Structure 1
């Protein structure tokens, strides 16, 4: 669908946050953990790029996402005028859905950084709806842009800022203090590796969920860009849901 741009902000390090007008129905469907869409800056379908949903408002009929201007796809997005093209909804942006949806009344830890922190707000809202106590660690280096999109009126939410890898010891102490039942990592492979390593040292390691970082192109499992193997079987990861 062709969607009008209602707001565009450029942050540090060539990071852009864009809000578009869409239908209330689509915006409501994009409030689930792991929600993402494919967007492009012009009518050429082969320039679709997957974007995690940072915020979706059925009331306002808007969807917001963030991206770093790096390659040709995001450069086209940055240069587009008053409209862009949108395809969705999709929900395979995370691994470990059942852990996020299944935890109730527990301490949960969300560690996020980079552009994958876009996934954190929907995950946090889901955890809070289920009566959990949530601590969010936003990690530098890089812009910390998701904080304004986290729930602002919850007494069960704490937000901490750290700088990685310098503050890994502080993160380890926080993990031992919280003893979380669930740990979600919204970041790249390096951050996920550091967080998983710390979690494995806890006396009761938490259930893990994380941002999916595999390459996607069509979103329908047809082109094979997301193809990988799971126990010897080929899996098209843009269509299949995996538990941690």
Structure 2
């Protein structure tokens, strides 16, 4: 692929047009970027400008914050927490897709404590959403102080936790490889579920990284998949065992849930004919493209708001300014 197709995760949803349409920063609409001609980058069958006009040139109402209930709290190891949270039926259904995440905080904390947490599993029959959280700073430690049956606040739903969703959604009855490391095990599970239901032949490589717990064993057992455990990063490079595996085996799609260096190394090393999807490692703060925490800058003065931009993983690092 030598042509980058950019999409917006919220286009055509109840959250579009958003505040970016008011500031001249709409991701797709040329009119709302300040141009005189109509040249949408990716037509969804919905005119964003017309939607803004019909809404009185005001942004649509954003995501709501829901008060939910913690059903179970399990400290898997010193810095690894699992929460099972009871939510509404509508919220459970909206989060039951790959790439879903929420902003989570304790009820007594102000909104500065909102922290993005990916979905690990959704039990849509009982409206229970499961999360695994790595306890790293003040936000996640505040969440860990809550107890079972306490209330917790979720701002949701958000969907851009996976990049390359088009590649993922069109893959069925193919040979697929999923590579996941550390905390990436949790957001990997909705992807595995999606690919499994599409009849794909799935190979799974797991690297526990700094963790000791195989906290997804019970979920993986549902899909009759035997994972291969191996180290995926060795001093910033792909280990020989992983390189050999990629050389011997050919896959139509590779999904990667791990650090950017792992994603970049695999895309660079592997065959260009392979399609990719991966976790979105951008730093999220507002989730609406406003705060700028998620932005990455590229050559040609291009800025990508990765909380909303959907792009093929092959273009995440190409032309990216690191300084």
State the 1:205 CA deviation: 4.3
2:114 corresponds, among 27, 48, 52, to: 48
SS state at 1:163 partner: coil
Q: Distance in 1 between matches of 2:145 and 2:184?
A: 22
| 1:137-216 aligned within 5 A | 137-143=205-211, 144-150=214-220, 152-155=221-224, 157-165=225-233, 168-199=239-270, 202=271, 205-216=273-284
- Cα distance change on mapping 1:11 and 1:91 into 2, 3 Å: same
Gaps of 5+ in 2: 1-65, 314-323
> Whose RCO is larger (CA < 8 A, sep 6+)?
1
Q: Structure 1 unaligned runs (5+)?
A: none
| Structure-2 residue corresponding to 1:222 | 290
Q: Partner of 1:242 in structure 2?
A: 311
Q: Residue 75 of structure 2 aligns with which residue?
A: 10
Structure whose alpha-carbon radius of gyration is higher = 2
Q: Distance in 2 between matches of 1:233 and 1:121?
A: 33
Compare the two structures and name the one with the higher strand fraction.
Answer: 1
> Equivalent residues in 2 for 1:19-168 (5 A)?
19-43=84-108, 44-81=110-147, 82-143=150-211, 144-150=214-220, 152-155=221-224, 157-165=225-233, 168=239
Compute the TM-score of the two structures, normalised by the length of structure 1.
0.89
3-state SS of the aligned residue for 2:292?
coil
Equivalent residue number for residue 7 of structure 2: none
Q: What TM-score comes out, normalization by structure 2 length? A: 0.69
The answer to whether the 8 A contact 1:28-1:57 is kept is no
Distance 1:147 1:153 in 2: 9
After the TM superposition, list the runs of 4 or more consecutive aligned residues in structure 1 that deviate by more than 6 angstroms. Answer: none
Alpha-carbon offset, residue 140 of structure 1:
2.6
Aligned residue pairs, count: 239
Query: How far apart are the structure 2 equivalents of 1:174 and 1:235?
Result: 33
CA RMSD of aligned residues (A): 2.0
